[in-house]
Amino acid sequence: MRTAYSVETVRAAERELMARLPEGALMQRAAAGLAAVCAGLLGRVYGARVVLLVGPGDNGGDALYAGARLARRGAGVTAVPVDPERVHEGGLRALLAAGGRLAGAVPGRADLVVDGLVGIGGRGGLRPAAAALVERIPAGAPVVAVDLPSGVDADTGEVAGAAVHADVTVTFGAYKPGLLIDPGASRTGALRLVDIGLSLPDPDAEALQHADVAELLPAPAAESDKYRRGVVGVLAGSAQYPGAAVLAVAGALRGGAGAVRYVGPAADAVLARYPETLIGRGRVQAWVVGPGLGEGRAAEVAEALADPVPVLVDADGLRGLDPQVLRARPAETLLTPHAGEAAALLGTSREAVEAARLSSVRTLAARYGATALLKGSTTLVAHPAGGPVRVNPTGTAWLATAGSGDVLSGLAGSLLASGLAAVDAASVAAYVHGLAGRRAAAGAPLHAQQIAQFLPEAWRDIREEARYGTGRGGHRA
């Protein structure tokens, strides 16, 4: 499990540790880790041209001390401060003593640029003086961000205005949510964590890894039969959108349930593609409701919600949902909107949801009393009672293709039917779907059926790789 912590939590842990260590010890740990990553990237440190962009706070201090370490190994290090009157004193002294120099402008050429403009003390988009330095970063020079790419909000991943695009981000003590969640996540490049010895409480966000997912994937026991494995009901499709039913069933058949039961007007299309599907009403252990339903199907949605089993609501099923009805349900509800659907549920705009994904998914879950999976560039899953938000680390923008979400909802519903808690079903489905999408795409456009076809391969990969890894999954139901 990769865990992430808010600025407030990180600061508290730092204070606690700093009180027990000699002054400046933490910054030296950070700078040593940063310098080691920079040296690794440079290969040959001696003679390399390193440019430090130095903000007024401790983030700039880290960059200066790391620069001093590189200068002592023979690099030509130039520090460019945002404000020459406000530079970390000790860091500057160390750099100058090691042979580094101070400059008023960004040099035209560099083998490495270190972004020490702002770290967890940053607020809002970069101010003009800092943004101007970012614009001067020499084309093609690799950029290493100190703690986080300047301009990215550490807690949320929000980017208001200019922000650094890093090739590598060296973060200290703990990952911050903004490093894992878009738009921030797409600015970090490769992430490196430097352990500075913090003791941390429960995380604010977490990302499952292969080993966690492997532990959650359902597998039939020797005594299993199809009913014990769970039956998932799929209420989807319409005369206008029969394909959504086929794709949801395609996902459901590959998600661990023992049988898939289809209810709706697209039975012929479903059977033509998947003759193994059961047709018509009957007992199910979980429902998938909504893909391709079209309009005027509220009564059927309400009927499924009245069944005391877990229900996943997607797409057209999300229209006009009543929070009171969801709160009164005796079993879990899982909502799987994309940003547009989430905006309608929250009474805001799609842009507002995309700019603030973390708070949107939390609000959605709390307001509707349901687990919420917010799809898009970083898929997030929130539990209605709060706790860490799950951040999906797999996926590719090629998944943004018609019908992709239908496959996801079928898959997640199948995992619900096989007994996973809603948070686990949602985050495992997003993980496997994202991996299958990456494999199916392999750098080229894909269509939704291919995602379904690659699900078993992704599933097998997770189980295989996890044999050699460690890690724990799970979440309270």
Ligand X SMILES: NC(=O)C1=CN([C@@H]2O[C@H](COP(=O)(O)OP(=O)(O)OC[C@H]3O[C@@H](n4cnc5c(N)ncnc54)[C@H](O)[C@@H]3O)[C@@H](O)[C@H]2O)[C@@H](O)CC1
Ligand Y SMILES: Nc1ncnc2c1ncn2[C@@H]1O[C@H](COP(=O)(O)OP(=O)(O)O)[C@@H](O)[C@H]1O
Binding site for ligand X (CB under 6 A): 14, 18, 26-27, 30, 55-60, 62, 118-127, 130, 146-147, 172, 196
- Pairing of β 143-146 and β 168-172: parallel
C-beta of residue 123 within 8 angstroms of C-beta of residue 148: no
Closer by beta carbon to K ion, 115 or else 406: 115
405 has binding-site annotation = yes
Closer by beta carbon to ligand Y, 6 or else 392: 392
Which of ligand X, K ion, ligand Y, none lies near 126, with the C-beta cut-off 5 to 8 A by kind? ligand X
**Which residues are bridge partners to 334 per DSSP?**
312, 371
Closer by beta carbon to ligand X, 55 or else 264: 55
C-beta of residue 415 within 8 angstroms of C-beta of residue 232: no
Please report how the helices 242-253 and 448-466 are oriented relative to each other, as an axis angle in degrees rounded to 10: 10
Number of other CB atoms surrounding residue 413 within 10 Å: 35
377 has binding-site annotation = yes
Which of K ion, ligand X, ligand Y, none lies near 115, with the C-beta cut-off 5 to 8 A by kind? K ion
**Which residues are bridge partners to 380 per DSSP?**
374, 391
Separation of CA 59 from chain center: 25
Q: Which residues of 288-307 are buried (b: 16+ CB within 10 A; e: fewer)?
A: bbbbbbeeebeebbeebbeb
Chain contacts with ligand Y (rule: CB under 6 A): 315, 338, 375-377, 379, 395-397, 399-400, 402-406, 408, 433
119 has binding-site annotation = yes
Closer by beta carbon to ligand X, 147 or else 155: 147
43 has binding-site annotation = no
Q: How far is the CB of 145 from ligand X (least distance, A)?
A: 10
Closer by beta carbon to ligand Y, 153 or else 314: 314
Which of K ion, ligand X, ligand Y, none lies near 404, with the C-beta cut-off 5 to 8 A by kind? ligand Y
The dihedral through the CA atoms of 171, 355, 388, 456 has a sign that is negative
Alpha-carbon distance of 79 to 67, in angstroms, equals: 8
Q: How far is the CB of 150 from K ion (least distance, A)?
A: 4
Which of K ion, ligand X, ligand Y, none lies near 400, with the C-beta cut-off 5 to 8 A by kind? ligand Y
- CA 376, 256, 229 angle in degrees (round to 5)? 140
Sole binder of K ion in the list 10, 48, 146, 430 (CB under 5 A) = 146
Name, in order, each residue with C-beta under 8 angstroms of 8's C-beta and a sequence gap of 6 or more: none
DSSP symbol at 338: -
60 has binding-site annotation = yes
Token digits of residue 53: 């962009």
DSSP symbol at 316: G
C-beta of residue 233 within 8 angstroms of C-beta of residue 261: yes
Q: Under the criterion CB under 5 A, does residue 115 sit at the interface with K ion? A: yes
348 has binding-site annotation = no
Closer by beta carbon to ligand Y, 172 or else 459: 459
Using the rule CB under 5 A, give the single segment among 85-93, 111-119, 372-380, 392-400 that binds K ion: 111-119
Residue 373 burial by Cβ neighbours in a 10 Å radius (0-12, 13-18, 19+):
buried
DSSP symbol at 84: T
Alpha-carbon distance of 246 to 212, in angstroms, equals: 30
Using the rule CB under 5 A, give the single segment among 91-99, 148-156, 215-223, 431-439 that binds K ion: 148-156
Catalog residues that contact K ion under the rule CB under 5 A.
115, 145-146, 150
Which residues are annotated as part of the binding site for K(+)? Answer: 59, 115, 150
List, as residue ranges, the binding site for AMP: 375-379, 405
Known binding residues for (6S)-NADPHX are: 58-62, 119-125, 147, 244, 292, 338, 406
Name the binding residues: 58-62, 115, 119-125, 147, 150, 244, 292, 338, 375-379, 405-406
